[in-house]
């Protein structure tokens, strides 16, 4: 059934039956995830398009957006994020509804005091609640592990932990594997998550963006009503108009406030200096593929990773790392659950270092910043849609991808990694001229499955 879904031969009735199986059977969900992962890996191998055909991954033409447009989206978002965000919610709770399907999460920590633990207030979210959000943003944590944000003006109704109705506004969600099948309906389109982070905006039409993973979308109005579902993948965006004959492409630089929600769901408090958070993982972090003389890039690689073997990392102790061998490795035990982020710096012509800061809402579990440590942990944390430095390019040709620690006779001059006192942030100074790449893998403690 998964194969028929992917190659576009599944009919609408069978599709609905397939949805119900995924919603009700945990074993089926795990099998489905394994199948999707196999296809995701194959799609990025050399010659995969010729071997299995692009139609395996989408039943219609897929829109494509380059790294340049993604960066434009990030810069546009960052300019709009100054100052605190406040909101007011009008709630309509149905009578006789006592079933709690999650919580409304409010961070009451003053913006001027973000160095310690956040003060979170959780209010019960009940089945059938209708929310009117005139402005600002609020955050929800559902009982099935789905974390989401709502951006006003918006109107939304939570029917179950696995289904909601979005009448207006912008909704951003991060969905763990155990919640695959999470469904959002708008007046124009029905969206079913297949393991991903995505946003859905509703105005006069509906707009879907996928930042990681895969989403199934089916148009509810117009001549496409009842057609086979469209599979939307990482980095793709689609706009559905009420009477449109077909979906239309969306300019990626129209992201507006969505980056705010992504930061919340990824556990990122803020970034400063030369550092920029990418909402979509890049196509490649190999040498010369993602260069900038003004930006240190940050993106989330994986979420929901559970270690199946012990892993040695640099401990998150407050100190400055500027020379090799100045720490005792920390071993993370089997069963540790974490999210991974990658910092990447690769200069085009610059010869002076860049400096940037990242602050997280949750504790850092450890860092990996040696070339061999990064290479060995790629199999655990690498994003499936991103090309990483190969073992041959890293070791045979002595192209260092680590920081601080000399490699192949190349000293990491001017590199510094400062771990903040509370273990929730980093300030880095990176110098990556010529063939040198600077990369740091950050493992962040999971919280409510994110």
Helix axes 26-42, 12-24, angle to 10 degrees: 120
pLDDT in the model for residue 416: 92
pLDDT in the model for residue 113: 52
pLDDT in the model for residue 156: 95
Q: Residue length, the chain?
A: 450
Per-residue CA distances from 401 to 346, 398, 413 (Å) = 9, 9, 13
pLDDT along the chain (450 residues), means of 10: 68 71 65 57 38 33 38 34 43 70 74 52 86 90 92 92 94 91 91 90 88 89 68 87 58 63 90 94 92 96 92 94 82 94 94 94 94 92 92 63 67 82 95 85 76
413 and 431 Cβ atoms separated by less than 8 Å: yes
What is the torsional sign of CA 174, 428, 377, 424? negative
Per-residue CA distances from 300 to 14, 64, 285, 387 (Å) = 34, 20, 13, 14
How many CB atoms are located within 10 Å of the residue 151 CB? 23
10 Å CB burial of residue 349 (0-12, 13-18, 19+) is exposed
Residues 21, 29: Cα–Cα separation, whole Å: 8
DSSP 47: T
pLDDT in the model for residue 110: 52
Cα 183 to chain centroid distance, Å, stands at 18
241 and 205 Cβ atoms separated by less than 8 Å: yes
Residues 295, 18: Cα–Cα separation, whole Å: 44
Report the candidate in 32, 400, 60 with the shortest Cα–Cα distance to residue 219: 60
pLDDT in the model for residue 41: 43
pLDDT in the model for residue 312: 95
175 and 159 Cβ atoms separated by less than 8 Å: no
pLDDT in the model for residue 76: 34
All domains in the chain, ordered by first residue: 1-57 (no CATH), 65-260 (2.60.120.1440), 267-445 (no CATH)
DSSP 63: P
Token couple for 4? 């028929």
Please state the pTM of the whole predicted model: 0.75
DSSP assignments along 245-284, one per residue: SS-EE--GGG-TTHHHHHHHHHTEEEEEETEEE-SS--SB
pLDDT in the model for residue 77: 37
pLDDT in the model for residue 196: 85
**Which residue, chain included where needed, has tokens 């944590």?**
141
Sheet of 337-345, strands arranged across: 275-277, 296-306, 337-345, 438-445, 364-368
Residues 302, 450: Cα–Cα separation, whole Å: 10
Cα 99 to chain centroid distance, Å, stands at 30
């Amino acid at each position: 059934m998964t194969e028929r879904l992917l190659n576009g031969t599944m009919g609408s009735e069978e599709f609905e039956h397939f949805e119900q199986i995924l919603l009700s059977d945990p074993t089926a969900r795990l099998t489905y995830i394994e199948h999707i992962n196999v296809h995701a890996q194959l799609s990025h191998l050399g010659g995969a398009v010729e071997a299995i055909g692009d139609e395996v991954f989408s039943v219609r033409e897929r829109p494509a957006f380059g790294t340049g447009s993604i960066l434009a989206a990030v810069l546009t978002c960052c300019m709009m994020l100054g100052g605190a965000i406040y909101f007011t919610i009008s709630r309509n709770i149905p009578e006789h509804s006592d079933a709690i399907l999650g919580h409304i999460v409010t961070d009451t920590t003053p913006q001027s005091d973000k160095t310690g633990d956040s003060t979170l207030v959780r209010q019960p979210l009940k089945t059938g609640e209708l929310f009117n959000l005139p402005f600002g943003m609020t955050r929800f944590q559902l009982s099935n592990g789905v974390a989401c944000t709502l951006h006003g003006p918006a109107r939304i109704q939570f029917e179950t932990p696995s289904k909601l109705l979005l009448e207006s506004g912008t909704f951003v969600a991060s969905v763990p594997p155990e919640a695959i099948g999470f469904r959002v309906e708008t007046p124009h389109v029905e969206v079913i998550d297949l393991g991903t982070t995505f946003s859905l905006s509703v105005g006069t039409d509906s707009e879907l963006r996928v930042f990681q993973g895969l989403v199934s979308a089916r148009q509810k109005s117009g001549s496409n009503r009842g057609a086979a579902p469209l599979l939307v993948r990482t980095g793709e965006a689609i706009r559905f108009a009420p009477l449109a004959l077909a979906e239309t492409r969306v300019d990626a630089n129209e992201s507006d406030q969505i980056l705010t929600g992504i930061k919340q769901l990824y556990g990122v408090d803020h970034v400063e200096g030369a550092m920029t958070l990418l909402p979509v993982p890049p196509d490649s972090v190999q040498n010369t593929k993602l260069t900038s003389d003004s930006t240190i890039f940050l993106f989330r690689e994986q979420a929901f990773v559970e270690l199946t073997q012990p892993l040695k990392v640099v401990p998150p102790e407050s100190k400055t790392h500027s020379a090799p061998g100045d720490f005792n490795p920390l071993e993370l035990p089997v069963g540790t659950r974490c999210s991974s982020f990658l910092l990447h710096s690769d200069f085009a012509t610059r010869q002076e270092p860049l400096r940037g800061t990242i602050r997280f809402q949750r504790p850092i579990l450890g860092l990996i910043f040696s070339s061999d440590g990064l290479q060995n942990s790629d199999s655990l944390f690498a994003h499936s849609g991103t090309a990483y430095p190969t073992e041959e390019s890293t070791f045979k040709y002595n192209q260092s991808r680590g920081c601080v620690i000399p490699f192949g006779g190349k000293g990491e001059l001017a590199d510094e990694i400062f771990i903040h006192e509370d273990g929730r942030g980093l300030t880095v100074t990176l110098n990556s001229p010529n063939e040198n790449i600077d990369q740091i893998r950050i493992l962040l403690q999971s919280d409510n499955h994110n």
